[in-house]
């Protein structure tokens, strides 16, 4: 397990076995609950410099317009695919005159330009860009570049950054393997690009 993450097991997990062997088992040989979701391990990134964001934005603002390009970051193979990517640009009261996207769709929602890309992976839209031009304010003056910031990015992925996986589930008494399923979700808690 990576030292870039802090791992915390549920209070009812045998901490000694987890620390030594990275095995999650309940204390006192009690079984895990069956047929219900249960969280028995949480982790948090300790060293933000160790992991790059899975998607990187480059912003080129100017008075009255901005061009933004995204690129899937594969150098660390952090995630396999990003789903439901949403990049939001505030307008701060300005009006978008023209929006051009190379991939996905765009809409105006709650005073923001919302750029939506359903899937970003190595084979589908690993890069893309958007151009937003603002209407002048009627006095011939264009809004400054600061109007587009902060940019907010949201996405989900079925691969976690820590790449934690369940390898095997066994019965306590017999040690026999048990059929199991698992779901992993990576959600961007906060990804903001300041101007």
For 34-75, write each residue's pLDDT tens digit.
788 888 888 888 877 777 788 889 999 888 899 999 998 864
- CB 47 within 8 Å of CB 23: no
DSSP state of 128: E
Question: Quick one: pLDDT at residue 16?
Answer: 92
Place 131 in a pLDDT band, splitting at 50, 70 and 90.
Answer: very high
Instruction: List Cα–Cα distances, 192 to 3, 56, 115, 151, in angstroms.
Output: 26, 11, 15, 6
Q: What is the mean pLDDT of residues 157-169?
A: 83
Rounded (5°) CA angle 185-2-42: 40
Q: Please tell me the pTM assigned to this model.
A: 0.75
Domains and CATH numbers, the chain: 1-50 (no CATH), 52-157 (2.60.40.1170)
Place 77 in a pLDDT band, splitting at 50, 70 and 90.
Answer: low
Q: For residue 60, which of 35, 37, 89, 33 has the smallest C-alpha distance?
A: 89
Question: Quick one: pLDDT at residue 142?
Answer: 55
- CA 73 – CA 54 distance, rounded (Å): 5
Question: Quick one: pLDDT at residue 29?
Answer: 80
Most confident of 54-63, 102-111, 141-150, 170-179: 102-111
């Amino acid at each position: 397990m990576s030292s870039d993450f802090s791992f915390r097991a549920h209070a009812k997990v045998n901490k000694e076995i987890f620390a030594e062997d990275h095995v999650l088992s309940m204390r006192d040989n009690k079984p895990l609950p069956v047929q219900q979701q249960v969280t028995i391990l949480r982790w948090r990134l300790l060293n933000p410099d160790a992991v790059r964001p899975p998607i990187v934005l480059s912003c080129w603002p100017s008075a009255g317009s901005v061009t933004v390009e995204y690129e899937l970051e594969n150098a660390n193979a952090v995630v396999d695919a990003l789903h439901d990517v949403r990049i939001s640009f505030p307008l701060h009261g300005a009006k978008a005159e023209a929006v051009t996207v190379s991939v996905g769709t765009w809409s105006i929602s709650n005073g923001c330009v919302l750029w939506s890309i359903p899937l970003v992976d190595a084979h589908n839209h690993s890069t893309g860009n958007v151009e937003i031009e603002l209407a002048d304010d009627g006095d011939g003056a264009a809004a400054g570049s600061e109007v587009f910031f902060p940019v907010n990015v949201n996405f989900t992925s079925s691969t976690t950054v820590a790449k934690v996986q369940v390898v095997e589930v066994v019965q306590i008494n017999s040690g026999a393997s048990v059929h199991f399923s698992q779901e992993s979700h990576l959600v961007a808690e906060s990804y903001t690009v300041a101007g």
